[in-house]
Structure 1
Amino acid sequence: MTGGEDTRGKTYLRDLNQIVANNLKRIREEMKLSLDKVSDMTDVSKGMLRQIEAGESSPTIKTIWKIASGLKIPYTSIINIPQPDTFLVLGEDIEPQVEDEGRYKVYSIFPSEDGRKVEIYRIELEKNGSFSSNTHGEKTQELITVYEGVLTIRVDDEEYVIKAGDSIKFMADRPHAYFNRSDQLTRANMVIYYSI
């Protein structure tokens, strides 16, 4: 690290609402879309989009996925700030997005940027935690490795149990959900690959 520049990510997701607000407005303007058009494309109300762009709303994971899928852009293009060429991510600096009353947490580690088709996350599910995900873009894949606990994933109507040390790959352009039915915390790495 030189010149006093902090590449550890101290500003990384420091104010998630403002980051989402800035990114959504920038993306919408780059795509030359009105709020009405974005609402039509994403099935998110114009009022909610206006609040998000003003930094007055804390959108849920599902809402951000709806926006990303509707605009056909990677999820992390909405929630992350651009990263330098070399970027050390410290776990303590990442603010998770939370669902299921805090039982499901998602930590965005490496976003998709500069045309990269891959995003990397860490997920945590506490006992009895669950999350039903939106379908992602066409031919999008998820690759998950569990490194602590047991994760159950439902894809369409079939369930898979993944134990620590095991991995799964599936098409995420269909309904899918994550469950922790064990008595301990489950931690996993998730890679999302956008094929188009």
Structure 2
Amino acid sequence: MNDTIDEVTPGKLEPEDVLTSILGVTIKKRRLELGYSMEKVSQISSVSRGMLGLIESGKTTPSIGILWKLSKALRTPIAEMIPDLFLRTPKVVRKDEGRIFKLHKGNLEARSLHKDDADKLELYEIKVASGNFPLPAWFENQFEQNIIILEGRLEITFQDKTYSLEQGDSAIFLASDLLQLKNPSSQEVKLIWICPHHQDRK
């Protein structure tokens, strides 16, 4: 795969942005499970490769018609493509609930918000204090990552490039490609981190 990162034009973060991102991750994960290329899915579903790319990167929400075509091509019911997080409501996670993981003397903190019943996706709230940090250990066994910035500014560094993300920006990348997270300011950064559940993860 040569698609390691996608950037979204800065803007106000809306609730539906999270759904769009999770849906994109779910569709791509299913495609990879089947061993299908984007071209093959496009051919089977009659959905253009460009549109499929936008959907998988979380840049657009598919219409019901397109979602139906993709569900047929991926041999997956539409209901299974939409995360339980949004199907089984109400589901409330209080601010003092959920497992909390800390690294680097508490300067990097992750709070588990959701793991769907089918073990497909995990959703975390991440807090990053000022400083530089490698890929959090909690995600080392994961593959594709999807992050959405809620507050502050975060720099993510790969082999040949650094991206600066602000509130409302999102990025998709492979865990193996990420070298460093950096909060360049004194303000704490908050973000949502979405990743596929790994069978070895406890």
* RCO comparison, higher one (Cα < 8 Å, 6+): 2
Superposition TM-score, scaled by structure 1 size: 0.48
